[in-house]
Chain A
Amino acid sequence: MTSAVEVIYTATTTTTTTTTTTTTTTVPPTWDLVSQKLADNFVYYLNSLDKLPGGQIILRYIKSSYQDDPIRSLFELALFIFAIHYFLSSKKRENKSDFVKFSKREIDELCEEWVPEPLIDEINPYEKWQLDAIPEVKGHNGSHINIDGRQEVINLASNDFLNLNESKSIKLAANQVINNSGVGACGPPNFYGTQDVHVRLEEDLAKYLDGEQSILYGQDYVTAGSVIPAFLKRGDLCVVDSGVNLAIQKALIISRCDIEWYDHNDIIHLEQILSEIKPVLDKQKPIKRRFIVTEALFANTGDLANLKSIVELKNKYKYRLFLDESLSIGTLGKTGRGLVEHFNIPRTEISISIGSLANAFASSGAFCVGVNPMVHHQRIQSNAYVFSASLPPYSAKVASEAIKEITENINSNGESILINSLHEKSYFVYDNLLKKLSNSKYVEIISDRNSPIIHISLTNNYRDSLNLPQLYGNSEILIRGKPAKYVNPFDDYYNFESFLLQKIIDFILQNTNILITRSKNQIEHENLPLINPHLLIHINNGVSINEYQKLIDIFDIAINKVLQSINTENDLFELTNEILNY
């Protein structure tokens, strides 16, 4: 090994001598001595490397590289030190960069000085009426209810469209399971929380919706927020309808994927976006996951996604389709199989379908259905499935029973009797209201004829005359692709507009004992621009045509009565007192 060291040593001396010869005038005479000393030390420490295991290899490497190019060795050493520094400091980097140093006493003072804001802003007096306007049902929830001292109110505000909550067979099924398994599941699905009824419902749903497999969730709202982040990661892409509900908005934000928004139900815009990004995506290697995300029946607007065109486009541009069927399962299509059945498209075209069991099925929870690898992946990677308790077993049984009720009672046209009745009633109310309101200067129907929830909005002209804004909230996420850094503040106009609708609801309730409702979106949570609130009529199978007729008869009277005195922005603000004393 001595020879190796000698080689290095000689190499060092040669380099130093060459430098000294060229720069003799500038270098002080001690330079030779210093470099000599350095070289000695260097060699000494290098020698000790030899004793370490693997040291010989390093030594040989340094030797050969040094001989060829000492600059390279230095450069490599610098890189090496930088790498170590980087790895050691990377964790605290963000802190260090703008970290102000304080003494203990200064921190004490700062802590003493700091005055936090209250945990929550108290309800302001202008929104307090919203709290009082929440109806409280006394006793059984169903098509006819008792609320706030009123008996037998016709309930057109419930999501239980098929009125299964009052069904005897559903109750019997629930009783049987509770008598066998108790109420709660007492564990997450992966740890002994899966009961026979859960697996049975998963089988039933997969069969009903023509998917390979399905998976259950304990609550409807968390489903999108859990399914979407399981598949869409940073760098993945989704093209999303800009009218989607809050659950999907939040899910997309959480997933950190790239989002492109297309105008609500605007297929031309969708195609434009898809074709614009195609060249970029074609170069991608490996290709990333990409989805088109939409609701089937939009909760915010009551219209149907243009599924036929979307499916064509997603096949053309090779996207997967995520479809939220929360409101359409059990309401659309001949046998309630959702928007897919409504448009006669095979379910296999939809990569991920999610839906709620808490609406038409009179149960609770939600599901996701699709191909095996997709569903199986969720059983380990989907937060709300892994980290939460299973659905109560009786709920699973109730949903199975609801599917049975829907699919086993079929009329001669191959339609489910329950669903058919719902459709007839929806059409009846929709058609008659449309006729009634065709000349109304105040309101118009904006939902689809097939929707079990009829959305009635103030007309644009009328809203303009009251100086109400086109949209509420903020549009940061559409412009920048990221949610705003602040929450939407309380909005006076949104409050007034909601209050106008509430007055109509109250008038109808007082005069005909019929309860309808309005959209109750929470402006501070919405990340997309929020459309104006609507009056909502939730069609219910348990309500007779005669009773619907009563609603139709009073509807325009109520509208005129409430709105005729309000024609300018000032009139709106004069409602303030009424709001405060609601």
Chain B
Amino acid sequence: MVTLSPYIPNALPDDRPAEELAELEYGKLTSEKYLYVSKHPLGEPLPLPIDDEPPYIIYIATYISYLILIIIGHIRDFFGKIFKPSEYADLIEKDGYAPWYDGFESFYVRRLKTRIDDCFARPIHGAPGRYIKCFNRIRHGKTGYLYDGTSNECLNLSSYNYLGFAQSHGVCTDFALKCVEDYGTSGCSPRSYIGTTDLHKECERVIADFVGKEDAIIVSQGYGTNANLFASIADPKTLVISDELNHASIRFGIRLSGASVKVFKHNDMNDLEKLIRTQIAQGQPKTHRPWKKIIIAVEGLYSMEGNMVNLPKILELKEKYKCYLFVDEAHSIGALGPEGRGVCDYFQVEPSRVDILMGTFTKSFGATGGYIAADKEIIDKFRLNYITQNYSECVPPPVLGQIISSLSVIKGTLNPGEGKERLERIAFNSRYLRLGLKKLGFIVYGADDSPVIPLLLFLPAKMPALSRMLYDMKIAVVIVSYPATPLISARARLCVSSALTKEDLDYVLRKFDELGDLIFLKFSSGIAGGSKIPGQPPRWSIEDVLATNVEDTKMPKLGQFY
């Protein structure tokens, strides 16, 4: 008899040998052939991202799906309010208090997201490395779950673990443990009071050196880094020009600063140039005084699209029009470039040409927090007037330990060779999986070298279908839809990691092949590559894909067979 509990269970003891466990967190490289160096060919323009379109019938079906969901949701609301008023108690006024949120605002969550709630926030235990251990749970009531204590060990395509540093043992963990011993578990105070230790200073030196800037400042959370940055560099007389797909934290930060903001079409350099020119000419609204300064805010790698910023072109525009450039490298630092130093490294441009480089430690380094790297005068000023310096906790020591040691591994000063292997594996794995999916006929977005691979599903019902079936096949993926993406382009987001082996990816491709046929996901037209015959959509058999994929992964223009 299995007992079910509404409380999270304690993980069962794992008595497999240490070596096997280590292998489950970071798979050994199976062949030297499975390596690649990611780099943009110098001087060549960045090709515009090609977003493949499905047949119209898919769009129509998607709209009809949402229509049905919305109509049924309203019908259920209508009758529910009459027959089960207790379930709607949160939505109506009670004793003179307004509801916590209104029914209209929460409709999407109540009626759409709740139906597939089990695909989100699956609690896990252990390091989210090559495999991830999710607790099995059964839906209980509206928002609760019951746990039976067992867990499901899935191949991990969901965590931000690009370089595979999410490990519970190894040099980085050892150093983090040493920091607990030597420095404690907490920062104890904001930086400007008594939160600055020699370890913080060292970490800032290491990160500045890594990204190629004079100095850097670190913050305990990536979101908080952006959310508080703009208040220190922008005021209402500043214009911030922001990519329409910038992360919520950047948008929040800009709003907080009170600066004027204009948005340009995602990655569209012509639109950007037009906007800059108009804005310099028009100046501030009403007064027409010139802007004090213009800051262009972009991301290095867009996490929902997998697209890369067109850095060479933006730098050209920025220098031509005397704007300042802020690049958020949250997803690209560590994951891109022959040395893992982010988009500047990938496009082989001098980091000094970008005014402010921001990044996070969550995605590639297995730590948490964010940094701002810039010239020394700018960082010195930040040490005085950056909000988190004075008002918020500082980065705790074990996290510093993880950052310093993982950066040393990447640079090769610690465990020489290991960093290089990690970088080349992520580059190979990203291309390998992307190309395989393209050949099979899936619509995937994003740049060739991007470790984020969005696989388009469109129909809302395919999200839970894919997520649940993959979960049963022991593969964990993230599904995203509105509001993180446009309503009609629901997608699964695959995050590739160095920790995965080529064989793991083969398994993933096989399973996607099965599912793609089962729930009708292969509707690419071939314009984004993958097809050998012009004009014909790519629909390779899985055997053909696996037979040729290693060689094809190394072609300079991925999937462009003609």
Interfacial residues, chain A to chain B (CB-CB below 8 A): 94, 98-100, 102, 106-107, 110-111, 114-123, 127, 130-131, 134-142, 145, 155, 157-160, 164-166, 170-171, 174-175, 178-187, 189-196, 198-200, 203, 218-222, 225, 231, 236, 245-247, 250, 253-254, 286-290, 318, 320, 356, 358, 361-365, 372-374, 376-377, 379-381, 383-384, 386-389, 391-392, 394-395, 398, 483, 485-487, 515, 517, 520-522, 524-525
Contact = CB atoms under 8 A, between A and B. Distances in A.
Interface string B379-396: 011011101101111001
A80 to B, nearest CB: 27
26 contacts: A116-B294, A120-B233, A131-B380, A134-B196, A142-B184, A180-B127, A182-B129, A182-B168, A183-B368, A184-B399, A194-B124, A199-B8, A199-B123, A219-B219, A219-B392, A221-B224, A231-B101, A287-B96, A320-B97, A362-B186, A373-B100, A392-B399, A395-B185, A398-B186, A487-B235, A524-B385
A522 B219 CA distance: 17
A174 B128 contact: no
B232 interface: yes
Given A183-B398, A246-B387, A522-B387, A178 B176 contact: yes
B188 A286 contact: no
Interface in B247-272: 247-249, 252, 255-256, 258
A389 B381 contact: no
B188 A183 contact: no
Residue among A171, A198, A218, A358 with most chain B CB within 10 A: A358
Contacts of A187: 128, 158-160, 362
A225 B256 CA distance: 10
Interface string B135-146: 100000001000
B270 to A, nearest CB: 14
Given A127-B384, A286-B98, A364-B187, A220 B128 contact: no
A100 B399 contact: no
Given A116-B294, A117-B293, A220 B168 contact: no
B286 interface: yes
A542 B395 CA distance: 22
Interface string B101-143: 1000010010001000000111111111100101100000001
A140 B397 CA distance: 9
Nearest to A389: B362
A195 to B, nearest CB: 6
Interface stretch (B275-283, B410-418, B519-527, B546-554): B275-283
B83 interface: no
Contacts of B276: 111
B54 to A, nearest CB: 25
Nearest to B220: A219
Interface residues of B, number: 136
B168 to A, nearest CB: 5
Residue among A99, A119, A486 with most chain B CB within 10 A: A119
B47 interface: no
Given A141-B187, A182-B166, A192-B476, A117 B292 contact: yes
B391 A245 contact: yes
A372 B141 CA distance: 13
Contact of B280 (A114, A118, A218, A485): A114
Contacts of A107: 277-278, 280-281
Nearest to A119: B324
Nearest to A165: B184
B536 interface: no
Nearest to A374: B100
B188 A362 contact: yes
B236 interface: yes
A491 to B, nearest CB: 13
Contacts of B191: 134
A367 B156 CA distance: 28
B185 A170 contact: yes
B322 A115 contact: yes
B390 A520 contact: yes
A520 B368 CA distance: 26
B390 A364 contact: no
A195 B124 contact: yes
A485 B236 contact: yes
Given A186-B159, A218-B221, A394 B185 contact: yes
A54 B11 CA distance: 65
B291 interface: yes
A158 B194 contact: yes
Contacts of A139: 182-183, 197-198
A185 B223 contact: no
Contacts of A164: 186
B93 A287 contact: yes
B158 A160 contact: no
Nearest 6 CB-CB pairs, A to B?
Answer: A221-B392, A388-B223, A358-B393, A219-B221, A165-B184, A199-B8
A91 to B, nearest CB: 12
Contact of A134 (B158, B192, B365): B192
Contacts of A138: 197-198
Residue among A100, A220, A486 with most chain B CB within 10 A: A220
Contacts of B390: 520-522
Contacts of A395: 185, 396
Nearest to A213: B143
B193 A389 contact: no
A560 to B, nearest CB: 26
B407 to A, nearest CB: 13
B231 interface: yes
Contact of B182 (A140, A222, A389): A140
Given A131-B380, A253-B256, 5 more contacts: A102-B281, A178-B180, A180-B126, A289-B99, A318-B95
B177 interface: yes
B206 to A, nearest CB: 16
Contacts of A220: 392-393
A398 B365 CA distance: 22
Contacts of A121: 381
B189 A373 contact: no
B227 interface: yes
B159 A254 contact: no
A186 B160 contact: yes
Contact of B180 (A137, A175, A486): A175
A139 B200 CA distance: 10
B128 to A, nearest CB: 5
Nearest to B169: A179
A189 B120 CA distance: 9
Contacts of A119: 233, 293, 295, 324, 355-356, 378
A199 B125 CA distance: 11
Contact of B323 (A116, A247, A487): A116
A455 to B, nearest CB: 14
Residue among A199, A383, A388 with most chain B CB within 10 A: A388
Contacts of B280: 107, 110-111, 114
Contacts of A180: 125-127, 168
Contacts of A253: 256
B185 A192 contact: no
B478 interface: yes
Contacts of B561: none
Given A178-B398, A364-B396, A387-B248, A184 B124 contact: no
B384 A131 contact: yes
Given A186-B160, A219-B223, A318-B96, A141 B248 contact: no
A488 B360 CA distance: 30
A157 B194 contact: yes
Residue among B180, B181, B231, B277 with most chain A CB within 10 A: B180
Residue among B11, B186, B401 with most chain A CB within 10 A: B186
Given A130-B384, A388-B222, A381 B101 contact: yes
Contact of A123 (B8, B99, B173, B380): B380
Contact of A522 (B186, B290, B292, B385): B385
Contacts of A157: 189, 193-194
Contacts of A134: 191-192, 196, 383
